[in-house]
Amino acid sequence: MRTKHVSSVLLSILLAASLIALPSFIVTITSQTACANPSSENFAIVALPDTQYYSQSYPWIFENQTKWIVQNENEKNIVFVTHLGDIVEYNNNDYQWQNADNAMSILDNKVPYGILPGNHDLGPEYEKYFPASRYEGYSYWGGSYDSNYMTSLSPNMNNYQLFSAGGMDFIALNLQNGAPIDVLDWADNVLDKYSDRRAIISTHMYLDWDGSRMGIGELIWENLVVPHKNVFLVLCGHIPGEAERRDNLDNRTVYQLLSDYQYCDNGGDGWLRIMEFVSSENKIYVRTYSPYLDQYDNDSDSQFELYYPMNPTVATAGGISPWAYVGTVIVIVVMIAAVLMLKVV
């Protein structure tokens, strides 16, 4: 009788524990399944480097670039565009700013994008044509900041955007050329706030032609890349040519890419960078293409692959994995059962 009683007590405990644990367990498994199977849909991010000579002398090539992006938005699933600075050649020339505005306006209300001033753009005209107020109505808009020594009614020297693609959440952080310390502090706080998003930093001056980091590049590296584990990609222009740098840091690889074609014919021949994210392969395919020439540059500096793990961190109730959760429930049940058995004996 005593054995039967103990068995009944244990069975009751296990049944009660299962009923209590089952709803949470189902929520946990559902959460894990939803996050562990991100969309397998490929998507692309496009970088526009150093358009200064287009704005000065070849505005139709600049417009050709942004028209191509809009025309191929659906086919290539282009989810974001980043301009790497030096939008114009002379920042006091209104004609060049109008050309740049005409070209970038093609993206407005169509493809999310971020923009930043290069060394040729620093001045009031940049924020006359590309103020924060231009973007504040867009759902992807995050915020902006000007250095303490700048004054603007609608500051946008530094800004960030939020977007999602392929089951992943991103933050695109755009920093002015030669970002001073207060800008780096602002950017540090932004990356802290969005530490759960995969971070891409775009700036103008960062890598030299040989892949070494310039002075400002080292400051960005030490103040933003090293402390923030979600940063995986840094994009820059300024130095004519192409360079790639890979640094392993905290069990992650940070890719740093330079692209600038301003010394090609026609102010750059319309070359731009396409980065295609293929989550099923955990790879980013980098391609260099000119809509103006309608051709790809297939040399090894212009076409390459980056390994990047895209499976998101498994999300579970309370951050505990399903097996750890089940194990905890079992241990608790056994402990309670043992205590009751001792009392019965």
Per-residue confidence band for 195, with pLDDT thresholds at 50, 70 and 90: very high
Reported as a single tens digit per residue, the pLDDT across 308-324 is: 999 754 333 334 444 44
Q: In a 3-state reduction of DSSP, which class is residue 57?
A: helix
Report whether pLDDT(339) > 60: no
User: How far apart are alpha carbons 79 and 110 in whole angstroms?
Assistant: 10
Rg, the chain, Cα only = 26
Residue (of 132, 54, 56, 116) closest to 81 by Cα position = 116
Q: Which helix (H) or strand (E) segment is 129 a member of?
A: helix 124-129
User: How far apart are alpha carbons 70 and 145 in whole angstroms?
Assistant: 28
User: How far apart are alpha carbons 337 and 124 in whole angstroms?
Assistant: 74
**Main-chain dihedrals φ then ψ at residue 14, nearest 5 degrees:** -60, -40
Report whether pLDDT(1) > 50: no
Stretch 258-286: mean pLDDT, rounded? 97
The rounded mean pLDDT for the chain is: 85
CA 36 from centre of chain: 19
Residue 246: other Cβ atoms inside 10 A: 12
User: How far apart are alpha carbons 198 and 21 in whole angstroms?
Assistant: 33
Helices 2-36 and 322-344: crossing angle in degrees, nearest 10, is 170
Tokens 């109505």 correspond to 137
Per-residue confidence band for 25, with pLDDT thresholds at 50, 70 and 90: very low
In terms of CATH, what superfamily is 39-307?
Answer: Metallo-dependent phosphatases (3.60.21.10)
Q: What is the pTM of this model?
A: 0.80
Bridge partner list, 307: 283
User: How far apart are alpha carbons 55 and 63 in whole angstroms?
Assistant: 10
| b/e 63-87 (16+ beta carbons within 10 angstroms → b) | bbbbebbeebbeebebbbbbbbbbb
Task: Give me the pLDDT at residue 262, please.
Answer: 96
Reported as a single tens digit per residue, the pLDDT across 89-119 is: 999 999 999 999 999 999 999 999 999 999 9
Comparing 26-30, 174-178, 212-216, 228-232, which segment has the lowest mean pLDDT?
26-30
Per-residue confidence band for 337, with pLDDT thresholds at 50, 70 and 90: low
Reported as a single tens digit per residue, the pLDDT across 122-176 is: 989 999 999 999 999 999 999 999 986 666 678 999 999 999 999 999 999 999 9
Q: What count of Cα atoms within 13 Å lies in the side-chain half-sphere of residue 177? A: 19
Task: Give me the pLDDT at residue 154, please.
Answer: 84
Per-residue confidence band for 13, with pLDDT thresholds at 50, 70 and 90: very low
| One-letter amino acid for residue 122 of the chain | L
Task: Give me the pLDDT at residue 266, please.
Answer: 97
Residue (of 104, 136, 102, 107) closest to 117 by Cα position = 104
